[in-house]
Structure 1
Amino acid sequence: MTRMIAAACVAALLLPAVAAAKGFDVDTATRAYLDLLTGPARAKSDAYFEGGYWLILWNAVVAIIVYGALLASGGSARIRDWAERWTSRRWLRRGLYALAFTLVTAVLFLPWTVWEGFVRESQYGLMSQTFGAWAVDQAKGLAIALFVNFWFFVGIFAIIRRFRRTWWAIGAAVTIAFAALGVAIAPVFIAPLFNTYTEMPAGPLRDRIVAVARANDIPAEHIYVADASRQTKRISANVSGLGPTIRITLNDNLLNRTGPDEVVAVMGHEMGHYVLGHIARSILGLGVLALLVFFAVSRIAPRLIARYPNWGVRDVADTAAAPLFLALASAATVVLAPALNTLVRTSESEADAFGLDAAREPDGFAKVAMRLSEYRKIEPGPVEEALFFDHPSGATRVRMSMQWKKDHVPDARIERPVMTFD
């Protein structure tokens, strides 16, 4: 009886709050945010993101042209012959081929890389670097690629030669192992080559973030800030690393261009990736896709090598076959893009839900979703979102935030936010 009386008292106290929540209209609250982005700003956002749809195709086309040219001209075979003249050691030949191949393809891709990575970003006002600073970062990336490709080519072609029938499965596993190693060491050895990472300064905002982290059993001894503003206007945060190297980082644009409620909302989202183990799950998902690609390549490549002897490629274990493998993989990226997008978008949506529960800042998260419209189309159609978005769209995120607000904030009221967009 005592429990029943207590429950009745609690219900009586909650009735006004529940009634207020029921008066909160999710559609109206969502539209109040979405209607902030209009006119030229929305057109610019849509144009940038929709152009990315075509980039999926054009990146593959450019790659196929470059790799096809290396095959058809016999250039790949000549690089292999050069490596064979330098040393009799088979493993070193593969590594030397990788170095020369990486340099040659970097030069061949350079015009496209400049347009996509610098010119296009500058045209849409997202680039903060001069061309010289951007080129320095690209040179650093090339140096890393030379080192990684040397050892990857040594390993993958040794596997192809040793395991003639099952190399595609073992090769996929080795590729994912390389990727996992890269994820693990990136925060410690690679990311600092491009940005400076400092501890977030002490203060009320850090205290709030630490409180959210501790409430979810997340280590919060270190919260890093990257000086991403030297490169881009984009606001972002991320979870990087694997195992002992996992860390949560926010960029300085997030601190400088948003309010405390938005920062906490974003950090709650990133903590969701940590708690839900999304990095490991993403690697596993990519492993499945890699297995499919390797299997397809193992069936198609030998037939093409036999059909075009003028390429000078001896067999699939010949390093000169590398452009063929990469051309086929590039074609596969177009076919598998929706699956990859869905894999990532599912994790992002789960992190969104976790972040709303953890940070309890629905309006902060809605505002961040709107700010991301600088480079993400805010309101796509459902099919468009399913095919091309690797994150939930801004409209989806704002609606999720407003639904959470209705469900969890007793006195929820529709905000009339004031935001400006370039």
Structure 2
Amino acid sequence: MRKWIAGAGLVYVLYGLFIYWYLFMTGDAAVPEAVRGTEADPASFMKPSQLAVAEQYSNIKNFLFFIGIPLDWFLFFILLITGISKKIKQWMATAVRFQFLQVAGFVFVLSLIVAAVTLPLDWIGYQVALDYNISTQTAASWAKDQIIDFWIGFPLFTVCVLVFYWLISKHEKRWWLYAWCLTVPFTLFLFFLQPVVIDPLYNDFYPLQNKELESKILALANEADIPADHVYEVNMSEKTNALNAYVTGIGANKRIVLWDTTLNKLNDSEILFIMGHEMGHYVMKHVYIGLAGYLLLSLAGLYVIDKIYRQVVRTFGARLHINGKGDIAALPLLLLLISVLTFASTPFSNAVSRYQENAADQYGMELTRDREAAVDTFQDLAVTGLTQVNPPLLVKVFRNSHPSIMERIEHAETNEKTEEDPTSKPDSDQ
């Protein structure tokens, strides 16, 4: 057991050293020669001091991300190899009579352990954001969000675990298929509830207060044939200086939401471009495409997890203190497999997301007919968020669900050149 723990610890440390070396010493975030002097060159809209700070902040943030994910894997492995997971199960069996309460108690203790181990890294991330003036959130507000996260996640997680172990006891060979069938309505239900139940637990949402701007946005929506009565704003300035807007929810609960930081720091033309971008997501049905893609990936993922789970339990069950596939003590193994496969699929899901974001950028520029506002918006996003304009490859692949700021500005420039191409055929009536 000591050898396994030492080996896993060594692998984790070597991985952390590699990530540090890659991000801080070799990660290529330099500006290509072809971009220098253009609007996509960060030197054209950021001071040298801002560039240096953005590089530092981005590297720290990316480092925390890359070492945080395998920390969960290491923790789950330790819980299994040391027999702690089995002991928690035994404690629950002696503490409560009913099996469903034993499972709920096991999930609660496991959730507390995971929260306690990952909390220091989360706290460091919060402090870094404060130090670089990205976060404006008080420690009390941050702690409140952590507590809300826990008490939203715990009951949902408990229900999922109860259903999983019930399915595997009743349908050992096809549990993964039945689990996926239940995932579809459950996911749709959460998507429907999120804008009106979950999101308001963290922030206050209300109709856009600037009625003149709202009229402009609704006129833009009408031009795009989008049924819209309200645009919502959220008081994110209490927590951050960053800018954002997004589309959330499905059906009657679909919302377009603007952060108040965006309203306070951007002019109307830039906000209208952002709205055009979000309307592009709506028109091209990206929310539904993303939801369908998630459900298809989850089907494939559950099938693969079933095969690996069976093999690991069969081969290493005794060493990991697992008595079979239906043993609640095997839950850390299941979580480990889910986390690893989710991380492995991230490059694909991010690539699809970047394609959709690029298409939404294009739609926003076409709808507003204001390419300059798009460029100004991208530049403001980089400055206010201390964003690397051209992040290293691993960051792009595993972290970026949007094209880089440099790519978005270059796309806008390409769009302008295409529109102004003198070789394009004129209309017959000109």
Residue identity opposite 2:242 in structure 1: R
Q: Deviations over 1:51-92 (max 9, x none)?
A: 454445312221012112221232222332333345554444
- The answer to whether residue 232 in structure 2 is matched with residue 224 in structure 1 is yes
Distance in 1 (CA, whole Å) between partners of 2:226 and 2:168 is 42
Distance 1:386 1:73, change over 3 A: closer
| Structure-2 residue corresponding to 1:390 | 401
Distance 1:380 1:97, change over 3 A: closer
Once the 2 structures are TM-superposed, how far is the Cα of residue 408 of structure 1 from its aligned partner? Answer: 4.6
Distance in 1 (CA, whole Å) between partners of 2:236 and 2:374 is 21
Which of 129, 145, 149 pairs up with 2:153? 145
| Structure-1 residue corresponding to 2:20 | none
- The answer to whether residue 251 in structure 2 is matched with residue 243 in structure 1 is yes
Deviates further, 127-136 or 326-335: 326-335
- The answer to whether residue 138 in structure 2 is matched with residue 130 in structure 1 is yes
Once the 2 structures are TM-superposed, how far is the Cα of residue 250 of structure 1 from its aligned partner? Answer: 0.3
Contact 1:173 1:287 in 2 (8 A): no
Distance 1:145 1:385, change over 3 A: closer
Counterpart mapping for 1:313-324 below 5 A: 313-324=322-333
Residue identity opposite 2:240 in structure 1: T
| Structure-2 residue corresponding to 1:107 | 116
Secondary structure in structure 1 of the residue aligned to 2:258: strand
Deviates further, 88-97 or 237-246: 88-97
Contact 1:183 1:241 in 2 (8 A): yes
- The answer to whether residue 337 in structure 2 is matched with residue 295 in structure 1 is no
| Structure-2 residue corresponding to 1:415 | none
Contact 1:370 1:394 in 2 (8 A): yes
Distance 1:93 1:359, change over 3 A: farther
Distance in 2 (CA, whole Å) between partners of 1:195 and 1:59 is 26
Which of 245, 263, 276 pairs up with 1:268? 276
| Structure-2 residue corresponding to 1:15 | none
| Structure-2 residue corresponding to 1:309 | 318
Percent of aligned positions with the same letter in both sequences? 25
Once the 2 structures are TM-superposed, how far is the Cα of residue 104 of structure 1 from its aligned partner? Answer: 2.7
Unaligned runs of 5+ in 2: 1-34, 423-430
Distance 1:154 1:31, change over 3 A: closer
Q: Deviations over 1:240-274 (max 9, x none)?
A: 11111111000100000111111111111111112
Which of 319, 340, 356 pairs up with 2:349? 340
Contact 1:76 1:323 in 2 (8 A): yes
Unaligned runs of 5+ in 1: 1-25, 412-422
Contact 2:40 2:405 in 1 (8 A): no
| Structure-2 residue corresponding to 1:215 | 223
Secondary structure in structure 2 of the residue aligned to 1:30: coil
Residue identity opposite 2:335 in structure 1: L
Secondary structure in structure 2 of the residue aligned to 1:378: coil
Residue identity opposite 1:370 in structure 2: Q
Distance 1:330 1:364, change over 3 A: same
TM-score, with normalisation over the residues of structure 2? 0.81
| Structure-1 residue corresponding to 2:18 | none
Once the 2 structures are TM-superposed, how far is the Cα of residue 120 of structure 1 from its aligned partner? Answer: 2.6
| Structure-2 residue corresponding to 1:233 | 241
Once the 2 structures are TM-superposed, how far is the Cα of residue 28 of structure 1 from its aligned partner? Answer: 6.8
Contact 1:176 1:286 in 2 (8 A): no
- The answer to whether residue 174 in structure 2 is matched with residue 163 in structure 1 is no
Which of 361, 365, 390 pairs up with 1:379? 390
Residue identity opposite 1:271 in structure 2: M
Once the 2 structures are TM-superposed, how far is the Cα of residue 212 of structure 1 from its aligned partner? Answer: 0.4
- The answer to whether residue 392 in structure 2 is matched with residue 402 in structure 1 is no
Secondary structure in structure 2 of the residue aligned to 1:181: helix
Distance in 2 (CA, whole Å) between partners of 1:297 and 1:220 is 42
Distance in 2 (CA, whole Å) between partners of 1:386 and 1:143 is 32
Q: Deviations over 1:365-399 (max 9, x none)?
A: 11111122224321347786455421011112112
Distance in 1 (CA, whole Å) between partners of 2:89 and 2:335 is 16
Distance in 2 (CA, whole Å) between partners of 1:318 and 1:61 is 24
| Structure-1 residue corresponding to 2:9 | none
Distance in 1 (CA, whole Å) between partners of 2:138 and 2:97 is 45
Once the 2 structures are TM-superposed, how far is the Cα of residue 153 of structure 1 from its aligned partner? Answer: 1.3
Deviates further, 87-96 or 260-269: 87-96
Contact 1:33 1:398 in 2 (8 A): no
Once the 2 structures are TM-superposed, how far is the Cα of residue 316 of structure 1 from its aligned partner? Answer: 2.0
Q: Which has the bigger relative contact order, CA under 8 A and spacing at least 6?
A: 1
Q: Deviations over 1:283-327 (max 9, x none)?
A: 222223323432332222233334242533222222221111112
| Structure-2 residue corresponding to 1:21 | none
Which of 351, 368, 373 pairs up with 2:377? 368
Contact 2:58 2:386 in 1 (8 A): yes
Distance in 2 (CA, whole Å) between partners of 1:95 and 1:378 is 45
Distance 1:251 1:384, change over 3 A: closer
Contact 1:46 1:378 in 2 (8 A): no
TM-score, with normalisation over the residues of structure 1? 0.83
Q: Deviations over 1:3-52 (max 9, x none)?
A: xxxxxxxxxxxxxxxxxxxxxxx997634776212423123323433445
Distance in 1 (CA, whole Å) between partners of 2:52 and 2:187 is 37
Once the 2 structures are TM-superposed, how far is the Cα of residue 192 of structure 1 from its aligned partner? Answer: 0.6
Give the length in aligned residue pairs: 385
Contact 1:127 1:231 in 2 (8 A): yes
Distance in 2 (CA, whole Å) between partners of 1:184 and 1:309 is 43
